[in-house]
């Protein structure tokens, strides 16, 4: 009997939670589901509207709502949530799955989440939240903001990377930030394990007046890369590689910590 139970457990498909920040109707999440839906038991919990740039925001002071949806994904259990991407992960674990999934996937985001974008990204914050909950996770992004973006290459390489993760489930706090260049599959040169490039946005607030003459501001900006290294995500993507950056939620600067312990006289 014990052997039979072990055998059945070994055959059980992994539970894969899928979420995003572009909303449950976005093409990116549908392409991600299609890429991996035969690799495990898929459960989708995603925002009911776009939540880009929400970072690690959570909903406090107002109710959260969950609704099962049966028309968005063929044969896949799916729910839409009124909250943020992080809310989606929290609710999925506590109220839908009633357990931790084996893997959490977030995306595929419409637009870049390389370099400093990881700080602002709702896509990556959902993945980081999963890792905080001891669920290995991956955030996927395509460097194309268009609603008509071609996800062919992203689907192909997302599946390859998920298969690698499932071969041997990694350490429970693992988070990977994966970005795809916006090119056809035949133009992608491969996958690079990278570090996050040092870059930032040179921002500007355009000042305008509304019809009532009141001022308002519209955020604009240009992404500027200060990092010339060839081991970065920005370099890899510019040269048609898929970039994979392992990230972490421990923000401690250990090198500075050691230095301060030696130099500060407190």
Contacts 24+ apart (CB under 8 A), 220-224: 223/112, 223/115, 223/199, 224/199, 224/200
DSSP 78: E
d(CA 228, CA 39): 38
Torsion of the alpha carbons at 259, 261, 263 and 264, rounded to the nearest 10: 130
Residue ranges of the binding site = 21-22, 52, 109
- Are 29 and 22 contacting, i.e. CB atoms less than 8 angstroms apart? yes
Residue 77, judged by CB atoms within 10 A of its CB (0-12, 13-18, 19+), counts as middle
Q: 3-state class of 214 per DSSP? A: coil
Euclidean distance between CA atoms 54 and 9, whole angstroms = 38
DSSP-derived letter for residue 139 is: E
Residues that constitute the known binding site for a divalent metal cation: 21-22, 52, 109
Instruction: Read off φ and ψ for residue 139, nearest 5 degrees.
Output: -105, 130
**Could you give the CA distance from residue 246 to residue 119 in angstroms, rounded to a whole number?**
14
- Give the whole-angstrom CA distance, residue 226 versus residue 116: 11
């Amino acid at each position: 009997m014990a052997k039979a139970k072990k055998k059945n457990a070994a055959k059980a498909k992994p539970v894969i939670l899928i979420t995003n920040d572009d909303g449950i109707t976005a093409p990116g999440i549908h392409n991600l589901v299609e890429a991996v839906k035969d690799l495990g038991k898929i459960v989708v919990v995603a925002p009911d509207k776009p939540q880009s740039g929400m970072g690690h925001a959570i909903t406090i002071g107002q109710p959260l709502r969950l609704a099962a949806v049966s028309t968005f994904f063929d044969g896949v259990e799916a729910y839409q949530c009124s909250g943020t991407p992080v809310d989606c992960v929290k609710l999925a674990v506590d109220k839908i799955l009633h357990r931790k999934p084996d893997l959490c996937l977030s995306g595929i985001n419409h637009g870049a989440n390389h370099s400093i974008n990881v700080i602002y990204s709702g896509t990556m914050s959902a993945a980081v939240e999963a890792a905080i909950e001891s669920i290995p996770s991956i955030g996927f992004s395509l460097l194309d903001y268009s609603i008509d973006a071609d996800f062919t290459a992203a689907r192909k390489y997302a599946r390859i990377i998920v298969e690698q993760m499932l071969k041997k489930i990694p350490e429970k706090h693992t988070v990977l930030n994966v970005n795809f260049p916006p090119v056809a599959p035949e133009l992608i040169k491969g996958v690079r394990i990278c570090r996050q490039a040092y870059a930032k946005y040179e921002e500007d607030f355009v000042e305008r007046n509304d019809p009532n003459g009141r001022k308002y501001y519209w955020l604009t900006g240009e992404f500027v890369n200060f990092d010339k290294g060839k081991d970065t995500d920005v370099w890899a993507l510019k040269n048609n590689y898929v970039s994979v950056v392992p990230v972490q939620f421990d923000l401690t600067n250990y090198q500075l910590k050691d230095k301060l312990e030696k130099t500060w006289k407190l």
